[in-house]
Amino acid sequence: MADFIKKIANIDRRYIFILIALTVIIPLLFPIGMPVTETKEVMAVYDYIEKLPQGSAILVAMDYDPAALAEVYPMTLAVFHHAFSRKIKVVGMTLWNTGAALGELAMREAAGDIARVGEDYVYLGYVVGDVNVIMRMGEDISAVYPTDYGGKPLAESPMMKGIKNYKDIALIVDIAAGATPELWVAYAGDMFKKDIAVGCTAVSAVGYYPFLNTKQIIGLIGGMKGAAEYEKLVKSRGTATAGMDSQSIAHILIILLIIIANISYFVMRRKDKLLKKA
Amino acid sequence: MGTVIGVWIAAGLTLCVYSFLYKDNPFYKFAEHLYVGVSVGYTIAITWHQAIVRLIWYPIKSEGNYTVLIPTVIGLLMFSRFIPKYRWLIRYPLAFMIGVSAGASIPRTMRSFVFEQMGATLAPFTTVNAIVIIIGVLVTLIYFYFSFEHKGPVGVVSKVGIMFLMVSFGAGFGYTVMARISLLIGRAYFLLHDWLHIVR
């Protein structure tokens, strides 16, 4: 028994890689359809946008790069889908230079046939400076972005005629792969008293729960699970929902591996103690 | 056609990177170096167009606004670091940047990340959550207070603080595992759906 435990403890990690790969690939090929239950943090974002009157405007900051796409892109699409279906105008921008093109891609994909650029949404792109951009947009968005991402003057966009600064924005949604939500909370939320919602990678989500508890943010969409919840709420099945089966089964495998590793640790430690006594 | 080529290149590079899981090899090294090079090149191109051209060139050329040269020169002084004789000039842009950053960030950071959190922690103890939070904050702070030896009552309290820390680390670890698995799912979905078309 101890020899078996020792073999398990010293197993080549490549076998574990193969097991993880299989737990991810097989549910994608043969979906199980595990239920996705909504959490109150995600519901809070959904309810806020749902209650906005038609014609309101929201600002969506897509502060991520291609490395985080798997987690944040589905939630970006879901939020856009929700806003466009409710006839809510969307101003898109980014504080990350590596995400400049991704923002336009997301807006165009989500808009499809239901929203038109210039009338229902505008993508402003990227401008250098994080804190400066956030603070100046609170006074005048066109001073920071005289043109949209395509070079068209902002004054020529029908949608931007009634949107000068944060006073004309009902909600700021920061979908981030880094620490930009802290900047939005500090400078847009606390300084200009704007409501902020955060969508982020799962790694970062833990750090933003304190902001949720203090109501500095109105809601939190965390990781692929949060994205799947939002997709369920807006009734739009996307890649996040498709990945939930793999997510759940991979987690079960990891829990089993941790239990096995702990059992092997305590068995080996007991064996060593007995050997020392002998 | 362009999309198909792009998908095949992306799939090939994905497999090159994942080949590292077997062992280090030239395919992985190639993909890694390509990624670093493309990222830096893309960043330089975006910064050139969004910072140099948009904020310096256009104001001078279109509006005759030469005052933008002042921050440009201050910024260029950062490169004096590479000339030993003029290395001291970097103090000016650094002083400016640190001064502005500190002035803009310290009051906001103190308010948003310290005072607001302290206020919420000292909320009325009307719920179990509020009581658990205040106990957790106090015992964790006591664990990090090393001016007293952690023996006796202080030792017991600091051990409770360690348990709270472990719970938070566990939550962080769980979320991190979910994040990493999510990234793997994203790549697997791309390979199976976009490349091989065997997943709908």
Mind listing the pLDDT tens digit of every residue in chain B (200 residues)? 778 899 999 999 999 999 999 889 999 999 999 999 999 999 899 889 888 888 899 889 988 989 999 999 999 999 999 999 999 999 999 999 999 889 988 998 899 999 988 888 887 788 888 889 899 999 999 999 888 888 889 999 999 999 999 999 999 999 999 999 999 999 999 999 999 999 87
Mutation target among A15, A126, A203 for the B interface, most CBs of B within 10 A: A203
Report the complex ipTM: 0.88
Among chain A residues, CA nearest to B189: A28
Instruction: For A218, list phi and psi in degrees, rounded to 5.
Output: -90, -15
Q: Phi/psi at A197 (nearest 5 deg)?
A: -115, 145
Closest CA to B48 of A107, A261, A167, A100: A100
Alpha-carbon gap, residue A224 to A241, rounded angstroms: 8
Condensed to tens digits (0 to 9), the pLDDT of residues B87-118 reads 999 999 999 999 988 998 899 889 999 998 88
Give chain A's mean pLDDT: 92
Contact A29 B198 (CB under 8 A): yes
pLDDT at res. A121? 95
Contacts of A88 (CB under 8 A, 6+ apart): A49, A52, A54, A55, A56, A57, A58, A170
What is the Cα–Cα distance from B36 to B38, expressed in whole angstroms? Answer: 6
Please state, in angstroms and rounded to a whole number, the distance separating the CA atoms of residues B169 and B190: 31
pLDDT of residue A273: 87
Give the closest residue to A42 by CA, choosing from A249, A212, A241.
A212
User: Rounded to the nearest 5°, which phi and psi values hold at A237?
Assistant: -75, 125
Within 160-189 of B, beta carbons closer than 8 Å to A belong to 168, 171-172, 175-179, 181-189
User: Are the CB atoms for B177 and A251 separated by under 8 Å?
Assistant: yes
- Min Cα distance B150 → chain A (Å) is 28
| Residue A258 neighbours by CB under 8 Å, 6+ apart | none
Is there a contact between A246 and B116 if contact means CB atoms under 8 Å apart?
Answer: no
3-class secondary structure, B73: helix
Interface residue B48 vs chain A (CB under 8 A): no
Q: Average pLDDT of A22-41?
A: 93
The pLDDT tens digits of the residues spanning B36-57 come to: 999 999 989 988 988 888 889 9
Question: Rounded mean pLDDT of A179-200?
Answer: 94
Instruction: Please judge whether A243 and B22 are an interchain contact, meaning their C-beta atoms are less than 8 angstroms apart.
Output: no
- In whole angstroms, give the CA distance from residue A153 to residue A161: 11
Contact A217, A181 (CB under 8 A): yes
Phi, psi dihedral angles at A222 (to 5 degrees): -105, 115
Q: Is any Cβ of chain A less than 8 angstroms from the Cβ of B71?
A: no
